[in-house]
Structure 1
Protein backbone atom coordinates (compact mmCIF):
# COMPACT_ATOMS: atom_id res chain seq x y z
CA UNK A 1 0.00 0.00 0.00
CA UNK A 2 1.39 3.41 -1.04
CA UNK A 3 0.54 5.99 1.62
CA UNK A 4 -0.04 9.43 0.07
CA UNK A 5 -0.05 12.99 1.36
CA UNK A 6 -1.88 15.48 -0.86
CA UNK A 7 -0.78 19.12 -0.75
CA UNK A 8 -2.91 21.55 -2.75
CA UNK A 9 -4.71 24.70 -1.65
CA UNK A 10 -7.81 23.84 -3.71
CA UNK A 11 -10.23 21.46 -1.98
CA UNK A 12 -11.80 20.48 -5.29
CA UNK A 13 -8.41 19.29 -6.58
CA UNK A 14 -7.78 17.20 -3.47
CA UNK A 15 -11.29 15.73 -3.66
CA UNK A 16 -10.79 14.84 -7.30
CA UNK A 17 -7.48 13.15 -6.57
CA UNK A 18 -8.99 11.18 -3.68
CA UNK A 19 -11.69 9.84 -6.01
CA UNK A 20 -9.01 8.62 -8.40
CA UNK A 21 -7.03 6.93 -5.63
CA UNK A 22 -10.15 5.31 -4.19
CA UNK A 23 -10.43 3.26 -7.41
CA UNK A 24 -7.07 1.51 -7.00
CA UNK A 25 -6.21 -1.05 -4.31
CA UNK A 26 -2.58 -0.08 -3.71
CA UNK A 27 -2.94 3.61 -2.74
CA UNK A 28 -4.33 5.34 0.32
CA UNK A 29 -4.53 9.05 1.17
CA UNK A 30 -3.36 9.43 4.77
CA UNK A 31 -3.03 13.23 5.01
CA UNK A 32 -4.06 16.46 3.25
CA UNK A 33 -2.54 19.93 3.41
CA UNK A 34 -3.66 23.27 2.01
CA UNK A 35 -0.40 25.22 2.41
CA UNK A 36 3.31 24.76 3.04
CA UNK A 37 3.14 25.25 6.81
CA UNK A 38 0.50 22.54 7.05
CA UNK A 39 2.66 20.19 4.97
CA UNK A 40 5.57 20.62 7.37
CA UNK A 41 3.34 20.19 10.45
CA UNK A 42 1.81 16.99 9.09
CA UNK A 43 5.20 15.56 8.15
CA UNK A 44 6.33 15.97 11.75
CA UNK A 45 3.43 13.71 12.76
CA UNK A 46 3.81 11.07 10.04
CA UNK A 47 5.88 10.50 6.92
CA UNK A 48 3.94 9.17 3.91
CA UNK A 49 5.40 7.03 1.13
CA UNK A 50 4.86 9.78 -1.48
CA UNK A 51 4.07 13.49 -1.20
CA UNK A 52 1.97 14.82 -4.08
CA UNK A 53 2.77 18.54 -4.05
CA UNK A 54 1.31 21.57 -5.80
CA UNK A 55 3.95 24.15 -6.77
CA UNK A 56 1.84 27.20 -5.93
CA UNK A 57 0.20 27.44 -2.50
CA UNK A 58 -0.17 30.24 0.06
CA UNK A 59 2.90 31.01 2.15
CA UNK A 60 5.97 28.85 1.71
CA UNK A 61 5.65 26.84 -1.47
CA UNK A 62 7.37 25.92 -4.72
CA UNK A 63 11.11 25.36 -4.90
CA UNK A 64 11.80 26.66 -1.41
CA UNK A 65 9.30 24.27 0.13
CA UNK A 66 10.74 21.33 -1.81
CA UNK A 67 14.22 22.22 -0.56
CA UNK A 68 13.01 22.45 3.04
CA UNK A 69 11.20 19.10 2.84
CA UNK A 70 14.22 17.43 1.27
CA UNK A 71 16.46 18.75 4.03
CA UNK A 72 14.23 17.31 6.74
CA UNK A 73 12.97 14.18 4.98
CA UNK A 74 15.59 13.18 2.39
CA UNK A 75 14.05 9.75 1.75
CA UNK A 76 10.54 11.10 1.00
CA UNK A 77 9.72 11.07 -2.75
CA UNK A 78 8.10 14.36 -3.81
CA UNK A 79 5.95 14.25 -6.95
CA UNK A 80 5.05 17.75 -8.13
CA UNK A 81 1.63 18.22 -9.71
CA UNK A 82 1.61 21.70 -11.23
CA UNK A 83 -0.33 23.95 -13.56
CA UNK A 84 2.92 25.26 -15.03
CA UNK A 85 3.90 23.54 -18.28
CA UNK A 86 7.16 25.36 -19.01
CA UNK A 87 10.13 23.03 -18.62
CA UNK A 88 12.13 25.53 -16.53
CA UNK A 89 9.77 24.95 -13.61
CA UNK A 90 10.35 21.19 -13.88
CA UNK A 91 14.12 21.70 -14.02
CA UNK A 92 14.07 23.87 -10.89
CA UNK A 93 11.81 21.41 -9.03
CA UNK A 94 13.96 18.40 -9.86
CA UNK A 95 17.16 20.25 -9.00
CA UNK A 96 15.60 21.13 -5.64
CA UNK A 97 15.00 17.44 -4.97
CA UNK A 98 11.62 16.48 -6.45
CA UNK A 99 11.40 12.92 -7.76
CA UNK A 100 8.99 13.89 -10.51
CA UNK A 101 7.02 16.67 -12.18
CA UNK A 102 3.60 16.29 -13.79
CA UNK A 103 1.21 18.90 -15.13
CA UNK A 104 -2.39 18.98 -13.93
CA UNK A 105 -3.75 17.95 -17.32
CA UNK A 106 -2.08 14.53 -16.97
CA UNK A 107 -4.25 11.45 -17.52
CA UNK A 108 -5.17 9.52 -14.37
CA UNK A 109 -3.36 6.36 -15.48
CA UNK A 110 -0.18 8.39 -16.08
CA UNK A 111 -0.51 9.91 -12.60
CA UNK A 112 -0.95 6.50 -10.98
CA UNK A 113 2.01 5.11 -12.90
CA UNK A 114 4.18 8.05 -11.87
CA UNK A 115 3.25 7.62 -8.19
CA UNK A 116 4.18 3.93 -8.30
CA UNK A 117 7.44 4.77 -10.06
CA UNK A 118 8.62 7.40 -7.57
CA UNK A 119 7.50 5.20 -4.65
CA UNK A 120 9.98 2.60 -5.96
CA UNK A 121 12.75 5.18 -6.09
CA UNK A 122 12.39 6.22 -9.73
CA UNK A 123 11.67 9.54 -11.41
CA UNK A 124 8.75 10.69 -13.55
CA UNK A 125 7.92 13.68 -15.74
CA UNK A 126 5.05 14.47 -18.11
CA UNK A 127 5.76 13.46 -21.72
CA UNK A 128 5.50 17.07 -22.92
CA UNK A 129 7.95 18.21 -20.24
CA UNK A 130 10.31 15.35 -21.11
CA UNK A 131 10.34 16.48 -24.76
CA UNK A 132 11.18 20.04 -23.74
CA UNK A 133 13.94 18.89 -21.39
CA UNK A 134 15.46 16.81 -24.17
CA UNK A 135 15.30 19.78 -26.53
CA UNK A 136 17.03 21.98 -23.96
CA UNK A 137 19.74 19.36 -23.45
CA UNK A 138 20.45 19.42 -27.18
CA UNK A 139 20.74 23.22 -27.10
CA UNK A 140 22.47 24.01 -23.77
CA UNK A 141 23.47 27.51 -24.84
CA UNK A 142 19.92 28.56 -25.69
CA UNK A 143 19.13 29.80 -22.16
CA UNK A 144 16.07 32.01 -21.91
CA UNK A 145 16.17 35.05 -19.59
CA UNK A 146 13.85 33.55 -16.95
CA UNK A 147 16.26 30.62 -16.53
CA UNK A 148 18.66 33.08 -14.83
CA UNK A 149 16.25 33.67 -11.94
CA UNK A 150 16.71 32.16 -8.50
CA UNK A 151 13.97 29.95 -7.04
CA UNK A 152 12.48 32.86 -5.06
CA UNK A 153 12.73 35.24 -8.02
CA UNK A 154 10.98 32.71 -10.25
CA UNK A 155 8.19 32.41 -7.68
CA UNK A 156 7.77 36.19 -7.47
CA UNK A 157 7.91 36.46 -11.26
CA UNK A 158 5.08 33.92 -11.61
CA UNK A 159 2.88 35.85 -9.18
CA UNK A 160 3.56 39.26 -10.70
CA UNK A 161 2.92 37.92 -14.20
CA UNK A 162 -0.40 36.49 -13.00
CA UNK A 163 -1.54 39.97 -11.94
CA UNK A 164 -0.74 40.12 -8.22
CA UNK A 165 0.50 43.43 -6.83
CA UNK A 166 3.56 43.91 -4.61
CA UNK A 167 1.53 43.85 -1.39
CA UNK A 168 -0.42 40.77 -2.49
CA UNK A 169 2.78 38.90 -3.31
CA UNK A 170 4.29 39.97 0.00
CA UNK A 171 1.26 38.71 1.93
CA UNK A 172 1.14 35.41 0.05
CA UNK A 173 4.84 34.70 0.59
CA UNK A 174 5.08 36.13 4.11
CA UNK A 175 7.64 38.71 2.98
CA UNK A 176 7.85 42.47 3.36
CA UNK A 177 6.75 44.67 0.47
CA UNK A 178 10.29 46.08 0.38
CA UNK A 179 11.75 42.59 -0.11
CA UNK A 180 9.29 41.82 -2.91
CA UNK A 181 10.13 45.15 -4.56
CA UNK A 182 13.82 44.24 -4.42
CA UNK A 183 13.09 40.86 -6.00
CA UNK A 184 11.05 42.59 -8.69
CA UNK A 185 13.91 44.96 -9.49
CA UNK A 186 16.33 42.04 -9.72
CA UNK A 187 13.96 40.14 -11.98
CA UNK A 188 13.52 43.09 -14.34
CA UNK A 189 17.29 43.60 -14.43
CA UNK A 190 18.17 39.97 -15.09
CA UNK A 191 15.53 39.64 -17.79
CA UNK A 192 16.21 43.09 -19.30
CA UNK A 193 12.52 43.99 -19.08
CA UNK A 194 11.33 47.49 -18.22
CA UNK A 195 7.99 46.95 -16.46
CA UNK A 196 5.46 44.54 -14.98
CA UNK A 197 3.53 44.71 -18.24
CA UNK A 198 6.67 43.50 -19.97
CA UNK A 199 6.84 40.54 -17.56
CA UNK A 200 3.24 39.67 -18.41
CA UNK A 201 3.92 39.80 -22.15
CA UNK A 202 7.04 37.69 -21.69
CA UNK A 203 5.14 35.11 -19.61
CA UNK A 204 2.37 34.85 -22.23
CA UNK A 205 4.86 34.60 -25.10
CA UNK A 206 6.78 31.77 -23.45
CA UNK A 207 3.78 29.87 -22.06
CA UNK A 208 4.63 30.55 -18.41
CA UNK A 209 1.06 31.19 -17.26
CA UNK A 210 -1.56 28.58 -16.50
CA UNK A 211 -3.73 28.01 -19.56
CA UNK A 212 -7.41 28.85 -19.41
CA UNK A 213 -9.30 26.05 -17.71
CA UNK A 214 -6.33 24.77 -15.73
CA UNK A 215 -6.68 24.47 -12.00
CA UNK A 216 -4.46 26.84 -10.05
Structure 2
Protein backbone atom coordinates (compact mmCIF):
# COMPACT_ATOMS: atom_id res chain seq x y z
CA UNK A 1 0.00 0.00 0.00
CA UNK A 2 1.41 3.36 -1.07
CA UNK A 3 1.73 5.79 1.84
CA UNK A 4 -0.04 9.13 1.44
CA UNK A 5 3.20 11.13 1.61
CA UNK A 6 4.74 9.11 -1.23
CA UNK A 7 1.86 9.49 -3.64
CA UNK A 8 2.15 11.63 -6.77
CA UNK A 9 -0.32 14.49 -6.32
CA UNK A 10 -1.99 15.42 -9.61
CA UNK A 11 -4.34 18.14 -10.87
CA UNK A 12 -6.12 17.58 -14.19
CA UNK A 13 -7.45 20.35 -16.45
CA UNK A 14 -9.68 20.08 -19.51
CA UNK A 15 -12.49 22.39 -20.59
CA UNK A 16 -14.63 19.28 -21.16
CA UNK A 17 -15.48 18.24 -17.61
CA UNK A 18 -16.34 14.69 -18.62
CA UNK A 19 -12.82 14.20 -20.02
CA UNK A 20 -11.12 15.60 -16.94
CA UNK A 21 -13.31 13.43 -14.71
CA UNK A 22 -12.62 10.37 -16.88
CA UNK A 23 -8.87 10.83 -16.64
CA UNK A 24 -9.18 11.35 -12.90
CA UNK A 25 -11.14 8.11 -12.48
CA UNK A 26 -8.65 6.24 -14.65
CA UNK A 27 -5.61 7.44 -12.70
CA UNK A 28 -7.32 6.96 -9.35
CA UNK A 29 -7.21 3.22 -9.96
CA UNK A 30 -3.44 3.42 -9.51
CA UNK A 31 -2.39 3.40 -5.88
CA UNK A 32 0.60 5.68 -6.44
CA UNK A 33 -1.53 8.61 -7.65
CA UNK A 34 -3.64 11.07 -5.69
CA UNK A 35 -5.97 13.34 -7.68
CA UNK A 36 -6.16 16.62 -5.78
CA UNK A 37 -8.58 18.29 -8.18
CA UNK A 38 -9.93 18.80 -11.68
CA UNK A 39 -10.31 22.12 -13.47
CA UNK A 40 -11.99 23.62 -16.53
CA UNK A 41 -9.35 26.28 -17.21
CA UNK A 42 -5.94 27.51 -16.19
CA UNK A 43 -7.23 29.92 -13.56
CA UNK A 44 -8.79 27.01 -11.66
CA UNK A 45 -5.52 25.08 -11.95
CA UNK A 46 -3.59 27.97 -10.40
CA UNK A 47 -6.04 28.16 -7.47
CA UNK A 48 -5.76 24.42 -6.83
CA UNK A 49 -1.95 24.54 -6.92
CA UNK A 50 -1.90 27.56 -4.61
CA UNK A 51 -3.95 25.69 -2.01
CA UNK A 52 -2.56 22.16 -2.36
CA UNK A 53 0.85 20.53 -2.55
CA UNK A 54 1.05 19.52 -6.21
CA UNK A 55 3.54 17.34 -8.07
CA UNK A 56 2.08 17.25 -11.56
CA UNK A 57 -0.44 19.17 -13.67
CA UNK A 58 -2.01 17.42 -16.66
CA UNK A 59 -3.22 20.17 -19.01
CA UNK A 60 -5.24 20.41 -22.18
CA UNK A 61 -4.05 23.12 -24.57
CA UNK A 62 -7.39 24.54 -25.64
CA UNK A 63 -8.96 25.99 -22.48
CA UNK A 64 -10.81 29.28 -21.91
CA UNK A 65 -9.50 32.23 -19.86
CA UNK A 66 -6.02 30.75 -19.41
CA UNK A 67 -5.00 28.13 -21.97
CA UNK A 68 -2.50 25.31 -21.56
CA UNK A 69 0.51 27.32 -22.74
CA UNK A 70 -0.29 30.32 -20.55
CA UNK A 71 -0.95 28.07 -17.57
CA UNK A 72 2.37 26.28 -18.12
CA UNK A 73 4.25 29.59 -18.25
CA UNK A 74 2.63 30.80 -15.02
CA UNK A 75 3.21 27.52 -13.20
CA UNK A 76 6.84 27.33 -14.30
CA UNK A 77 7.37 30.88 -13.05
CA UNK A 78 5.49 30.68 -9.73
CA UNK A 79 5.66 26.94 -8.94
CA UNK A 80 8.80 25.62 -10.69
CA UNK A 81 8.70 22.27 -8.90
CA UNK A 82 5.34 21.35 -10.46
CA UNK A 83 5.79 19.12 -13.50
CA UNK A 84 3.65 19.71 -16.60
CA UNK A 85 2.22 17.05 -18.91
CA UNK A 86 0.24 18.25 -21.93
CA UNK A 87 -2.56 15.89 -22.98
CA UNK A 88 -3.97 17.26 -26.22
CA UNK A 89 -5.64 16.41 -29.49
CA UNK A 90 -3.43 18.93 -31.31
CA UNK A 91 -0.43 17.41 -33.08
CA UNK A 92 0.65 20.26 -35.35
CA UNK A 93 4.18 21.58 -35.14
CA UNK A 94 3.23 25.00 -33.79
CA UNK A 95 1.31 23.68 -30.80
CA UNK A 96 4.12 21.31 -29.88
CA UNK A 97 6.82 23.95 -30.37
CA UNK A 98 4.95 26.50 -28.25
CA UNK A 99 4.52 23.91 -25.51
CA UNK A 100 8.24 23.12 -25.58
CA UNK A 101 9.10 26.83 -25.47
CA UNK A 102 6.84 27.23 -22.42
CA UNK A 103 8.79 24.49 -20.64
CA UNK A 104 6.47 21.47 -20.52
CA UNK A 105 7.92 18.21 -19.26
CA UNK A 106 5.88 16.01 -21.58
CA UNK A 107 3.39 16.05 -24.44
CA UNK A 108 1.10 13.17 -25.36
CA UNK A 109 -1.90 12.98 -27.65
CA UNK A 110 -5.36 12.05 -26.41
CA UNK A 111 -5.37 8.90 -28.52
CA UNK A 112 -2.78 7.21 -26.27
CA UNK A 113 -3.83 4.42 -23.93
CA UNK A 114 -3.84 4.33 -20.14
CA UNK A 115 -0.49 2.52 -19.91
CA UNK A 116 1.28 5.24 -21.86
CA UNK A 117 -0.16 8.05 -19.73
CA UNK A 118 0.95 6.22 -16.58
CA UNK A 119 4.41 5.63 -18.08
CA UNK A 120 4.65 9.31 -19.05
CA UNK A 121 3.82 10.41 -15.49
CA UNK A 122 6.43 8.12 -13.95
CA UNK A 123 9.13 9.21 -16.39
CA UNK A 124 8.39 12.90 -15.82
CA UNK A 125 8.43 12.47 -12.05
CA UNK A 126 11.90 10.92 -12.41
CA UNK A 127 13.08 14.25 -13.77
CA UNK A 128 12.99 13.18 -17.42
CA UNK A 129 10.81 14.25 -20.35
CA UNK A 130 8.23 12.23 -22.24
CA UNK A 131 6.83 12.74 -25.73
CA UNK A 132 4.49 10.19 -27.29
CA UNK A 133 5.52 8.44 -30.48
CA UNK A 134 3.03 10.41 -32.57
CA UNK A 135 4.47 13.68 -31.30
CA UNK A 136 8.04 12.52 -31.96
CA UNK A 137 7.12 11.57 -35.51
CA UNK A 138 5.43 14.92 -36.14
CA UNK A 139 8.54 16.77 -35.03
CA UNK A 140 11.14 14.38 -36.44
CA UNK A 141 11.87 16.51 -39.50
CA UNK A 142 11.38 19.81 -37.71
CA UNK A 143 13.48 19.66 -34.58
CA UNK A 144 15.44 17.49 -32.19
CA UNK A 145 13.38 17.02 -29.04
CA UNK A 146 16.52 16.97 -26.91
CA UNK A 147 18.64 19.39 -28.93
CA UNK A 148 18.52 22.51 -31.05
CA UNK A 149 15.63 23.47 -33.27
CA UNK A 150 16.11 22.49 -36.92
CA UNK A 151 12.97 23.42 -38.82
CA UNK A 152 10.63 24.50 -36.02
CA UNK A 153 9.99 28.22 -35.74
CA UNK A 154 11.24 29.48 -32.38
CA UNK A 155 9.17 32.40 -31.12
CA UNK A 156 9.74 34.67 -28.16
CA UNK A 157 6.83 35.58 -25.91
CA UNK A 158 6.61 39.00 -27.59
CA UNK A 159 6.65 37.45 -31.06
CA UNK A 160 3.82 35.09 -30.07
CA UNK A 161 1.75 38.03 -28.80
CA UNK A 162 2.36 40.04 -31.98
CA UNK A 163 1.55 37.08 -34.20
CA UNK A 164 -1.72 36.54 -32.32
CA UNK A 165 -2.68 40.21 -32.64
CA UNK A 166 -1.80 40.23 -36.34
CA UNK A 167 -4.04 37.19 -36.71
CA UNK A 168 -6.84 39.19 -35.09
CA UNK A 169 -6.41 41.92 -37.69
CA UNK A 170 -4.63 44.57 -35.60
CA UNK A 171 -2.38 47.12 -37.30
CA UNK A 172 1.19 47.85 -36.16
CA UNK A 173 -0.01 51.05 -34.46
CA UNK A 174 -2.75 49.16 -32.58
CA UNK A 175 -0.33 46.44 -31.51
CA UNK A 176 2.20 49.04 -30.35
CA UNK A 177 -0.50 50.62 -28.17
CA UNK A 178 -1.60 47.30 -26.67
CA UNK A 179 1.95 46.10 -25.95
CA UNK A 180 3.20 49.54 -24.90
CA UNK A 181 5.98 49.54 -27.47
CA UNK A 182 6.91 51.85 -30.32
CA UNK A 183 5.41 51.31 -33.75
CA UNK A 184 8.96 51.06 -35.09
CA UNK A 185 9.66 48.10 -32.79
CA UNK A 186 6.46 46.35 -33.86
CA UNK A 187 7.35 46.83 -37.53
CA UNK A 188 10.76 45.28 -36.83
CA UNK A 189 9.15 42.29 -35.08
CA UNK A 190 6.73 41.91 -37.98
CA UNK A 191 9.59 41.80 -40.49
CA UNK A 192 11.31 39.16 -38.35
CA UNK A 193 8.14 37.06 -38.28
CA UNK A 194 7.88 37.27 -42.07
CA UNK A 195 11.45 35.99 -42.34
CA UNK A 196 10.96 33.18 -39.82
CA UNK A 197 7.85 31.87 -41.58
CA UNK A 198 9.25 32.64 -45.06
CA UNK A 199 6.07 34.62 -45.77
CA UNK A 200 5.58 37.20 -48.54
CA UNK A 201 3.28 39.48 -46.57
CA UNK A 202 1.18 39.59 -43.40
CA UNK A 203 -1.75 37.75 -45.01
CA UNK A 204 0.59 34.96 -46.11
CA UNK A 205 2.17 34.96 -42.64
CA UNK A 206 -1.20 34.42 -40.96
CA UNK A 207 -2.09 31.64 -43.40
CA UNK A 208 1.20 29.79 -42.88
CA UNK A 209 1.15 30.28 -39.11
CA UNK A 210 -2.40 28.96 -38.88
CA UNK A 211 -1.66 25.92 -41.07
CA UNK A 212 1.35 25.04 -38.93
CA UNK A 213 -0.54 25.41 -35.66
CA UNK A 214 1.01 28.64 -34.37
CA UNK A 215 -2.40 30.30 -34.45
CA UNK A 216 -5.40 28.46 -33.00
- TM-score, L = length of structure 2: 0.69
Larger Rg computed on CA atoms: 2
Conservation of the 8 A alpha-carbon contact between 2:94 and 2:213 = no
Aligned to 1:110: 116
Aligned to 2:44: 38
SS in 1 for 2:142: helix
Long gaps (5+) in structure 1: 167-175, 211-216
Aligned to 2:126: 120
How has the CA–CA distance of structure 1 residues 135 and 102 changed in structure 2, closer, same or farther, with 3 Å as cutoff? same
Aligned to 1:50: 56
Equivalenced residues, count: 194
Alignment of 1:65-84 (within 5 A): 65-84=71-90
Aligned to 1:94: 100
Aligned to 1:172: none
SS in 1 for 2:77: helix
- The partner residue of 1:15 within 21, 26, 29 is 21
Shift of 1:89: 2.4
Report which structure shows greater RCO (CA 8 Å, sep ≥6). 1
Shift of 1:49: 1.7
- The partner residue of 1:143 within 138, 141, 151 is 151
Note the alpha carbon deviations across 1:82-125, whole angstroms, 9 max, x for none.
22102342233233221111112222211111011112222101
Long gaps (5+) in structure 2: 1-6, 170-174
How has the CA–CA distance of structure 1 residues 98 and 202 changed in structure 2, closer, same or farther, with 3 Å as cutoff? closer
Conservation of the 8 A alpha-carbon contact between 1:62 and 1:155 = no
User: Quick one: distance in 1 between partners of 2:119 and 2:20?
Assistant: 18
How has the CA–CA distance of structure 1 residues 186 and 107 changed in structure 2, closer, same or farther, with 3 Å as cutoff? farther
Conservation of the 8 A alpha-carbon contact between 1:85 and 1:129 = yes
How has the CA–CA distance of structure 1 residues 53 and 203 changed in structure 2, closer, same or farther, with 3 Å as cutoff? same
Q: RMSD of the alignment, in Å?
A: 3.8
- TM-score, L = length of structure 1: 0.69
- The partner residue of 2:30 within 21, 24, 45 is 24
Note the alpha carbon deviations across 1:175-199, whole angstroms, 9 max, x for none.
x9x849x99x959x63435549x84
Which stretch shows the higher mean deviation, 49-58 or 15-24?
A: 15-24
User: Quick one: distance in 2 between partners of 1:154 and 1:84?
Assistant: 18
User: Quick one: distance in 1 between partners of 2:111 and 2:18?
Assistant: 15
